[in-house]
Structure 1
Amino acid sequence: MQLFILFLPFLFALFLPLIKKWGKGHLGYYVIPIPIILTVYYSSFIGKETQYESISWISALQVKFDSQLDGLSLLFSLLISGIGIFVLFYSIFYLNKKERLHQFYMYLLMFMTGMLGVVQADSVISLYVFWEVTSFASFLLIGYYYEDRISKDGAFKSLMITIFGGLMMLGGFLILSNVTGTMSIREMTAQAAQIEQSSLFYVALVLILLGAFTKSAQVPFYIWLPDAMAAPTPVSAYLHSATMVKAGIYVVARFTPIFAATAVWGNVIAIVGVVTLCWGSFFAVKQKDLKGILAFSTVSQLGMIMSMLGVAALVSYTNDTSTFYQFAAFAALFHLVNHATFKGALFMMAGIIDHETGTRDIRKLGGLLSVMPVSFTVTMLGTLSMAGVPPFNGFLSKELFFMTMWQSKEALPLGTLVFAAIWLASIFTFMYSLYFVCGTFLGKRHTLPKRPHEAPIGLLVAPIVLLIIGLIIVFRPNVVADLLIKRAVVSIQPTLFESASDVGVHVSLWHGFSAEFLWTLGVIVLGILGVLTLKKWQPMYEKWPEKWTLNTLFNQVISIGDASFTKWSRHVMTGKSRQYFTFMLGMVSMLLLFVLWKKGAFAFSWEGASTIHIIDGLLVVTLVAGTIIVLKATTRMTAIIALGVVGYCVALFFVRFQAPDLALTQLVIETVSVALFLLVFRNLPKKIKEEQKQKGKWLRLLVSASVGLTVMLFAMAAYSQKLLPTISSYYKETVLKEAGGGNIVNVILVDYRGFDTLFEITVLAIAGLAILGLLRSKKRKGDARDESK
Structure 2
Amino acid sequence: MFFSILAPFIAACLVPFLFRYKRTIHTGWLVLPIPILLFLYFLLQIPNISGGNNIHLIINWIPSIGMNLSFYLDGLSLLFTLLITGIGTLVVLYSIYYLNKKEKLHNFYVFLMIFMGAMLGVVLSDNVFVLYLFWEFTSLSSFLLIGYWYHRERSRYGAFKSMIITVFGGLSMLGGLILLTIMTDTTSIREMIESKESVINSPYFTGTLLLILLGAFTKSAQFPFHIWLPDAMEAPTPVSAFLHSATMVKAGIYLSARLFLLFGGSDLFFILVTGFGLLTLCWGSYMAVRQTDLKAILAYSTISQLGMIMAMIGFGTEVAIFAAIFHIFNHATFKGSLFMIAGIVDHESGTRDIRKLGGLMTLMPISATLALFGTFSMAGVPLPFLNGFLSKEMFFKTATQISPTAPLVDQLFIIIPVLAVLGSIFTFVYSMYFFFQTFMGKSKETLEIKPHEAPIGMLVSPIVLVTFIVVIGLLPNLINEPILAPATAAVFGTVPEEHIAFWHGEINTPLLMSLAVVVLGTLLYLTRKKWSHVYRLLPGVLSANKAYDAVYEGHLRLSRKTTNMYMTGSLRHYVLYILLFLVASGGITLVVTDGFAFSTSDVAPISWPEIMVGIVMAIAAIATVFMQNRIAAILVLGVVGYGLSLLFVFFRAPDLALTQLIVETVTVALFLLCFYHLPKLDTKKQSTGTKTVNILISASVGILVTLVAIASHSSKRFETIAHYFIDESHHLGGGDNVVNVILVDMRGLDTMFEITVLGLAALGIYAMIRLRKEEEID
TM-score, normalised on structure 2? Answer: 0.90
Compared with structure 1, are the counterparts of its residues 113 and 588 closer, same or farther at alpha carbon in structure 2 (3 Å cutoff)?
A: farther
Q: Distance in 1 between matches of 2:735 and 2:19?
A: 48
Please state if 1:514 is matched with 2:508: yes
Kindly tell me: are residues 506 and 555 of structure 1, through their superposed partners in 2, closer, same or farther at Cα, counting changes over 3 Å? same
Secondary structure of the residue that 1:370 maps to in structure 2? helix
How has the CA–CA distance of structure 1 residues 771 and 172 changed in structure 2, closer, same or farther, with 3 Å as cutoff?
closer
Within 5 Å, give how 1:245-256 maps onto structure 2: 245-256=249-260
Q: Is the 8 A contact 1:291 1:350 kept in 2?
A: yes
Contact 1:409–1:416 (Cα < 8 Å) also in 2: no
Counterpart of 1:163 in structure 2 is 167
Q: Distance in 2 between matches of 1:559 and 1:758?
A: 38
Sort the Cα spacing of 1:598 and 1:122 in 2 relative to 1 into closer, same or farther, 3 A: farther
Task: Identify if the C-alpha distance between structure 1 residues 558 and 124 changes in structure 2 by more than 3 Å, giving closer, same or farther.
Answer: same
Contact 2:337 2:466 in 1 (8 A): yes
The structure-2 alpha-carbon separation of the partners of 1:71 and 1:664, relative to structure 1 and needing over 3 Å to count, comes to closer
Do structure 1's residue 639 and structure 2's residue 633 form an aligned pair?
yes
8 Å contact kept, 2:71–2:127: no
Is the 8 Å Cα contact of residues 337 and 465 (structure 2) preserved in structure 1?
A: yes
- Where does residue 334 of structure 2 map in the other structure? 342
Structure 2 CA distance for partners of 1:164 and 1:756, relative to 1, 3 Å = closer
Q: Which residue of 2 aligns with 1:381?
A: 373
The SS at the match of 1:350 is: helix
Counterpart amino acid of 1:427? I
> Partner residue of 2:214?
210
Q: Go from structure 1 to structure 2 and tell me whether the alpha carbon gap of 1:201 and 1:521 turns closer, same or farther (over 3 Å shift).
A: same
The AA in structure 2 aligned to 1:142 is: I
Amino acid at match of 1:344: G
Match of 2:428 in 1: 430
Letter in 1 for 2:413: G
The aligned counterpart of 2:398 is 404
How far did 1:519 drift? 2.1
d(CA) in 1 for partners of 2:728, 2:189: 44
**Alignment check: 8 A CA contact 2:373 2:469 kept:** no
Query: C-alpha separation between the residues in 2 aligned to 1:642 and 1:476?
Result: 87
2:141 counterpart residue number: 137
The equivalent of 1:318 in structure 2 is none
Give the alignment of 1:74-473 within 5 angstroms. Answer: 74-312=78-316, 315=317, 326-389=318-381, 390-391=383-384, 392-408=386-402, 412-445=410-443, 446-473=445-472
Q: Does 1:559 align with 2:557?
A: no
2: CA distance between counterparts of 1:728 and 1:344? 57
Q: 2:115, 2:138 within 8 Å by CA — same for their partners in 1?
A: yes
Aligned-residue offset at 1:642 = 3.3
Is 514-523 or 648-657 further displaced after alignment? 648-657
Please say if residues 330 and 485 of structure 1, whose CA atoms lie closer than 8 Å, have aligned partners that are also in contact: yes
Give per-residue Cα distances to partners, 1:523-563, cap 9 Å, x unaligned: 21222222222222223324556641111011001111110
Which residue number corresponds to residue 626 of structure 1?
A: 620
Cα distance change of structure 1 residues 214 and 739 upon mapping to structure 2, 3 Å threshold: closer
How do 1:676-695 residues align onto structure 2 when only pairs under 5 Å count?
677=671, 680-690=674-684
Structure 1 residues 678 and 73 mapped into 2: Cα distance closer, same or farther (>3 Å)? closer
Question: What are the ranges of 5 or more consecutive residues in structure 1 without an aligned counterpart?
Answer: 316-325
Question: Helix, strand or coil: the match of 1:414?
Answer: helix
**Distance change in 2, residues 1:412/1:300 (3 Å):** farther
Structure-2 separation of matches of 1:265 and 1:518: 29
SS at 1:57 equivalent: strand
Residue of 644, 655, 680 corresponding to 1:650? 644
Q: What's the RMSD between the two structures over aligned residues? A: 3.2
Q: Which amino acid aligns with 2:258?
A: R
Instruction: Give 5+ residue unaligned stretches, structure 2.
Output: none
Q: Distance in 1 between matches of 2:244 and 2:724?
A: 57
Q: Is the 8 A contact 1:3 1:54 kept in 2?
A: no
Cα distance in 2 for partners of 1:553, 1:744 equals 56
Question: 1:450 is paired with a residue of what secondary structure?
Answer: coil
Distance 1:561 1:407 in 2: 47
Within-5 A mapping of 1:698-737? 701-720=695-714, 721=716, 723-724=719-720, 726=722, 730=726
Give the C-alpha shift of residue 281 in structure 1.
Answer: 0.7
Tell me how far apart the structure 2 counterparts of residues 56 and 287 of structure 1 sit (CA, whole Å). Answer: 50
Give CA-to-partner distance per residue, 1:364-383, whole Å, 9 cap, x none.
11121221111111111110
- The amino acid across from 2:480 in the alignment is A
* Distance across 1 between alignment mates of 2:308 and 2:700: 59
The yes-or-no answer on 1:475 pairing with 2:474 is yes
Aligned partners of 2:139 and 2:163 also within 8 Å: yes
Equivalent residue pairs, number: 761
Q: Counterparts of 1:751 and 1:129 in 2: how far apart (Å)?
A: 23
Report the CA distance shift for 1:458/1:635 in structure 2 as closer, same or farther (over 3 A).
Answer: same
Contact 1:546 1:552 in 2 (8 A): no
Quickly say closer, same or farther: Cα 1:347–1:661, change in 2 above 3 A. closer
For residues 728 and 352 of structure 2, the distance between their equivalents in structure 1, rounded to whole angstroms, comes to 75
Distance 1:758 1:125 in 2: 22
Q: Is 212-221 or 473-482 further displaced after alignment?
A: 473-482
| Structure 1 position 617, deviation (Å) | 3.1
TM-superposed deviation, 1:224: 0.4
Shift of 1:618: 3.3
Q: In structure 1, how many angstroms separate the alpha carbons of the residues matched to 2:697 and 2:239?
A: 52
TM-score (norm 1): 0.89
What is the one-letter code of the residue matched to 1:347?
A: F
Show CA shifts across 1:455-512 (max 9, x none): 1111111001101012111122112111111111122222xx2xx3xx1110012223
- Residue identity matched to 2:39: T
C-alpha separation in 1, matches of 2:485 and 2:204: 33
Deviations 1:28-69 (A, max 9, x none): 111111111111111222124211111122211111122111
Contact 2:725–2:738 under 8 Å retained in 1: no
